[in-house]
Chains A and B, each alone.
Chain A
Amino acid sequence: MFFYDLKTRLSVENKFIIETVDLKKTYKGKLHPTLNGLNLRIPYGSLFGLLAPNGAGKTTAINVICGLRKYDSGKVFIEGYDLSRDLKAIKPLLGLVPQDIALYPTLTAYENLKIFGGLYGIEKPLLEKRIDQLLELFDLSASRNSYINRFSGGMKRRVNMVAGMLHAPGILILDEPTVGVDAQSRMMILEKLIEINRAGTTILFISHYLEEAEHICTEVAFMDNGTIICQGHPGDLIDAHKPCGSLESIYLKLTGKRMRDTQ
Chain B
Amino acid sequence: MKKFRYLLYKDYLLLRRDVAGLMLMFLMPSVLVILMTLLQQSTFHAITDASVPLLLVNNDQGELGRTIDKELGSSGIFRVDRQINGKTLSLEELEKEVASSRYTLGIYIPENTTIGIQRNVARYVLAAFSGEEVLPLLDSVGFTIFVDPTAKASFYTAIMSTLKERTQKIEFEYILKEISRQVKEISPIPISTEGISGQQVYIDIRDARLKGKNMIPTPVQHNVPAWSLFAVFFIVISLSGSIIRERQDGSFFRLLTMPCSYTDYLLSKAIVFTVVALIQFALIFLIGVFICPLLGLDSLHLGSSPFALVVLTFSSAVAAIGYGVAIGNIADTYHQSSVFGAISIVIMAAIGGVWIPTYIMSEPMKKIGMFSPMRWGLSGFMEVFLQDAGLKAVLPESGMMLLFGIVCFAIAVTFNYRRRLDV
Among the 9-residue stretches B109-117, B211-219, B250-258, B374-382, the one with 4 or more Cβ atoms under 8 Å from chain A is B250-258
Most buried by A among B7, B246, B253, B257: B257
List of B residues within 8 angstroms of A88 by Cβ: 259
Quick one: CB contact mask for B240-262 with A, threshold 8 Å, 1 for yes? 00000010011101111111100
CB pair B3 A118 closer than 8 Å: yes
Quick one: CB contact mask for A206-236 with B, threshold 8 Å, 1 for yes? 0000000000000000000000000000000
Total B residues in contact with A, Cβ cutoff 8 Å: 27
Shortest distance from the beta carbon of A199 to any chain B beta carbon, whole Å: 22
CA of A101 to CA of B246 in the docked complex: distance in angstroms?
11
Among the 9-residue stretches A74-82, A102-110, A137-145, A176-184, the one with 4 or more Cβ atoms under 8 Å from chain B is A102-110
CA of A68 to CA of B14 in the docked complex: distance in angstroms?
24
CA of A91 to CA of B261 in the docked complex: distance in angstroms?
11
List of A residues within 8 angstroms of B257 by Cβ: 66-68, 91, 94, 96
Total A residues in contact with B, Cβ cutoff 8 Å: 31
Shortest distance from the beta carbon of B311 to any chain A beta carbon, whole Å: 33
CB pair B260 A119 closer than 8 Å: yes
- For B258, the closest partner residue in chain A by CB is A119
List of B residues within 8 angstroms of A114 by Cβ: 6, 9
Q: A111-B13, A115-B10 are in contact. Are A121 and B3 (CB under 8 A)?
A: yes
CA of A111 to CA of B14 in the docked complex: distance in angstroms?
11
CA of A103 to CA of B421 in the docked complex: distance in angstroms?
22
Q: A100-B249, A100-B250, A105-B249 are in contact. Are A119 and B14 (CB under 8 A)?
A: no
- For B9, the closest partner residue in chain A by CB is A115
Main secondary structure of the interface of A (DSSP, over half): loop
CA of A116 to CA of B13 in the docked complex: distance in angstroms?
14
List of A residues within 8 angstroms of B255 by Cβ: 119
* Chain B 1-50 interface residues, beta-carbon cutoff 8 Å to A: 2-3, 5-7, 9-10, 13-14, 17-18
List of B residues within 8 angstroms of A28 by Cβ: 422
CA of A104 to CA of B247 in the docked complex: distance in angstroms?
11
Is the C-beta of B420 less than 8 angstroms from some C-beta in chain A? Answer: yes
Main secondary structure of the interface of B (DSSP, over half): helix
Is the C-beta of A42 less than 8 angstroms from some C-beta in chain B? Answer: no
Is the C-beta of B423 less than 8 angstroms from some C-beta in chain A? Answer: yes
One of A66, A104, A120 near B14 (C-beta < 8 A): A104
- For B18, the closest partner residue in chain A by CB is A106
List of A residues within 8 angstroms of B260 by Cβ: 119
CA of A211 to CA of B226 in the docked complex: distance in angstroms?
64
One of A91, A101, A119 near B249 (C-beta < 8 A): A101
List of A residues within 8 angstroms of B6 by Cβ: 114-115, 118-119
List of B residues within 8 angstroms of A94 by Cβ: 257
CB pair B258 A120 closer than 8 Å: yes
CB pair A103 B259 closer than 8 Å: no
List of B residues within 8 angstroms of A115 by Cβ: 6-7, 9-10, 13
CB pair B253 A102 closer than 8 Å: yes
CA of A130 to CA of B256 in the docked complex: distance in angstroms?
22
- For B261, the closest partner residue in chain A by CB is A88
List of A residues within 8 angstroms of B423 by Cβ: 70
Shortest distance from the beta carbon of A156 to any chain B beta carbon, whole Å: 11
List of A residues within 8 angstroms of B250 by Cβ: 98, 100-103
CB pair A118 B18 closer than 8 Å: no
List of A residues within 8 angstroms of B251 by Cβ: 102-104
Q: A88-B259, A106-B14, A121-B259 are in contact. Are A68 and B2 (CB under 8 A)?
A: no
CA of A67 to CA of B259 in the docked complex: distance in angstroms?
11
A-B contact pairs, 15 of them (CB 8 A): A28-B422, A68-B256, A68-B257, A69-B422, A70-B421, A91-B258, A96-B254, A104-B10, A104-B249, A104-B251, A106-B18, A111-B13, A115-B13, A118-B2, A119-B7
B residues bordering A, Cβ < 8 Å? Answer: 2-3, 5-7, 9-10, 13-14, 17-18, 246, 249-251, 253-260, 420-423
In the A-B complex, the 10 residue pairs with the closest CB atoms: A102-B250, A118-B6, A100-B250, A106-B17, A102-B254, A96-B257, A115-B10, A70-B421, A119-B258, A91-B259
